[in-house]
Amino acid sequence: MGGGPRPTNLTMRGSVRAMTQVGSGTSVFTATPVLGIWRMMNTPDDVLALMDAGAEGVVAGVQDAGATFLAPIFDELTAVVCMSGTPSSHIGIVSREYQVPCIMATEFPTGLPAEGAVVEVDCSEDVGVVRVSA
């Protein structure tokens, strides 16, 4: 769990915690693993709320690969996890431009991470992986 090209201020207190894989998909580009706080972004209102609070340290989960409503906060995000699309989808293209680690067509067999959970997004291989703190 090293720092990535987009380090965050998120730290985990105490000893290193075990991480459990909960999802996987296609990495948009190769990036070192990053840690962040999971937030589902379902509507522009979710983005507006983050604009006020700040999006640093946030891993944004989105359903639609064509979603454009993340644009105002994209450069602040730690990572993006999309449940649809391919690396050539809109979100994939923008993530490469901003160098924000991104996983596309992500499947979560046991369900999405809980809102506010500490997650690791690992795009170090072609198959991107989402892990949660155990």
User: What's the chain's length in residues?
Assistant: 134
**Which residues in the chain land under pLDDT 70?**
1-17
pLDDT score, position 17: 66
Can you give the CATH number for the domain in which 124 is found? 3.50.30.10
pLDDT score, position 9: 40
Quote the pTM value.
0.87
Q: Which of 111, 66, 116, 117 is nearest to 92 (CA)?
A: 66
User: Phi and psi at residue 105, in whole multiples of 5°?
Assistant: 50, 45
Whether residue 11 is contained in a domain is answered as: no
- The domain of 31 spans 19-133
Whether residue 122 is contained in a domain is answered as: yes
pLDDT score, position 109: 97
Whether residue 128 is contained in a domain is answered as: yes
Number of domains the chain is built from: 1
Whether residue 59 is contained in a domain is answered as: yes
Whether residue 6 is contained in a domain is answered as: no
Whether residue 4 is contained in a domain is answered as: no
